[in-house]
Structure 1
Amino acid sequence: MQALLMLVAFVALLQLSTQTEYLSSSEDICRLFPDKTKLRKPGYCDRWITCKDSKSSDGGFCNGQLFNLGKGSCQKSLESSDTYCKAPCGSKSNGYIGDTFNCANWYFCNKTTVLSSGICSNGMYFDQNKQMCLYPKDTICNAKFELCQIVPTGVKIRDEHNCDKYITCKAGKATTTTCPEGLYYDVTSGNCIKKSLVPCHKIPHPIEVCGTKKLAKRNVFVSDGATCRGYFYCRDLGSGVPDPTPAWHQCPLEFFFNEERAGCEARVDRKCAEDRCDGRGNEYELAEIPGCQHYIKCVNGAESGEILKCDDDMYFDAEAQRCTTTMKAYGICTK
C-alpha cells in the first residue's frame, strides 16, 4: 500500500511540474500565452514567433545571427545559461547524431567536437537508427524542448494543470506563482482575475482538501472550494493517509453541492459563496435576496454583476426563467 501511495504522489507531482513540449505535437504552443507574446520558434535558434488568437505566426528571422531570449532580439551570441542551441555532441559521441530540438538537423561528432553539421532537405527528418534523412512518415520525431528554452525572462506561462497558477522563467529555470485566493490565471489578459471568469477544466485542490496526516478525511465527499456544483471524493487510503489525488465530480445542473449533507441539493434551496451562474450559460439565476423577486443575469456561465428585480407584484420563477405573478418561496430567498 505504501509503495502504491508513493507512486500516486509521484505521478501527481510529475503532472504539476512537467514543462516538456514535443516538436511534433499538434497543440500550438501559443495556447499558453497572451496575444503579442514573442517567443523563440520551437526547433530553431535564429527565428521567433508571435502569438495571436492562441495561434503561432512567424515573427522574424535573424540573418546570420541567433535569437537571444534574454534581450528578445538578434545577437551574435547567446547567454551562457541558454543551452537550447548547444550541439548534442558529448564525450561518448562518435559519428552522426540527430539534433535534440529539431528533427531535421544532424551533426557529425568526434566526442565533444563538431566536425560538421547540416539540415535534411525537402522537409525530411534525420533518423538516428538508420543514420540518414527520411520522410516524416518513415521515422518518428522525438525532438522536444522545455518551455523555459523558448520563453523570455518574465513572460507568464499558463499552467495547464493548475488554474490558479502561472509559470515564469529566468536563466532557464521555472518559477511557479499562485494567484491570490479566489482568483485564477487568465491567459487572455495575462492577469489573475475572478475565478468564475476563467474556464477551468482541472479544478485545483484546496489546501489539505482531504485532511492531514493527523486527521485524514477518508471515504467522504468535500466541496471543491471553487464552484457551487463541484466536489471531490477523498478515498480511504488508511489512517493518517490523506488522498493526494481526489477525483473531482459535479452535481447536475439544477443542484449545488452541500458538504454538510455530503450530497447534491436543489440549487434554489442551497446558498453558495461562489458564482451562482455555474452551468447556466446565458440564462438567469435566482439571487440570494429575501423576497424571491431578484435574479442574476448570467453571461457564458458566469455572473455578469447585474442583478435584476421583478415588478413589485411578481416573483422570479427559477424553472421558467422569468417573472410570474405566482408567489415563490425558495430556500435561498425566503426570510
Structure 2
Amino acid sequence: MAGNYLLGSILCLALVNAIGAQVMEGTYNVTEVCTMVKTGTQLGSIESCSSYYVCTKSGPVKQSCSAGYSYNFRAQNCGPSSQVECYYGMANPCSGKTGSNWVPNVNNCQGWYYCNGDKIAGQGNCAKGERFEMAAQKCIYGECPKTDGNSVGLSLVNYCSVVPPNMYFGSTHDCNTWYFCNPQGLQTQGTCSSSAFIVSSGVCGYDTAPGACDRVVNAPVPTTCNIKGALKADATTCGNYYVCNGEIYVLNQCPYGTYFDVDSSNCVTRKLAVPQPGCNRCQYATTPFVNAVNDQLCDTYYYCQNGNHGDVSECPSGSYFNEADQACAPLAGLVNYTPYNGACHGAAIPSGPPKPPGPNSASTGSKAISSGSNAPSTGSNSPSSGPGSPPSPSKN
C-alpha cells in the first residue's frame, strides 16, 4: 500500500511539474498578462507591494523585495518603501504619509481615500465619467480603462497598474490590438493596420510570423466537478486544460509550444500531441495551413489567421494533408506521417472504396495548397513610426 501511495505521489508531482497552473491574483491572470508582454518584462503584484513577477517563456516567476523595500513597477526595481508609491495589500493606504493628500482606491479607478497624515480621514468616488488621477491629486474626465478580464473581487482595473510605462503590449482577445501605458499610468489602445501586433518586437506585423497570435485564446467557463485531480482538455484551446479542485475545474496552461495530450493526460510538443478534437491548432503554428484533428483519414486542414482558423477544408480523395509540406499528399505516405503528427493519431488508409469529396474539398487538379486571398501580404519588419501607435511593417 505504501509503495502504491509513493508511486502515486511521484506521478502527481511529475504531472504538476510538466503542466503548470496559471498564476492568479483575484481576477488578475498573471500568466495571461505575461503572454501580452515581451519575455523578461517584470509585472507588479496587486496582492502585495513587496512582490513582483518576471515573465519567462514558460510563464511568470514570482520574486520578492527585501524587508523594508517595495516593488516599483515603473522603474522595474525594488526601492525603499517610503519612496515607492504602492497601495496594494495595505490595510491603511495612508500609512507613511505626511500632510494632507488623496491616494487611490486600487480596486476602483474612480475611488479615492483622503489622508490626514497617516490616518484615513475620508473616502469616496469621483463622479460618473471621471476617474481619480493620483499625480494630479484630483478627479479628471475619463472612463476607467478596460482589461481583457472581468472585474469581480480583487481585480486589475488597469493594465498600467502593473505593466511598466512606455511600452506597447498585446491583447489576448484580438491579435492586432495593442495597448500602451504612458508615464502617468494612462492606458490607451489601438489596432494595427496589418494583421497582427508582434509582442516580441513591440511592432505591427503579420499573423504569419511564428507565434504572432499564440496569446489569443478563448477559454470556456469551467464546470463543476467532484473528483479532485481529474483532468479535462479545453475544447477550444489545445494548450489549455482543467484540473478539478474537488468543486470546480480550474484552468491551467501547458508550457509554451506544447499541447495537452488527451491520450497521456500530459503536455506534449505541439507536433506530437494528440489534442482534443475541435481545438484550435493555430496556437503555436509556424505555417499558414495546419492539420485539423482527424483520426480517420487525416485529410482535413484549415488556414490560420489572427490566431484563429477558417473553415475546415478537405484534400482530394486518395490523399491526406501534410502540414510540413503545406500540401495534400498521396495517401500511401500516411503510414509514415501519423506516428509523428498527433493531430492524425489513429488515421489509417481505408481498405474499402474511396469516399466522394466533401463540399469543401480541394481541387483534384493540384495537390499544393494555395493560400490565395486568405494570405496576408508579407513585408519586412523595418518599422516606420507613426504617432500614437506602434510601428508598422513597411511593404515591399
Pick 1 or 2: higher relative contact order, CA cutoff 8 A, min separation 6: 2
Normalised TM-score (structure 2): 0.34
Normalised TM-score (structure 1): 0.39
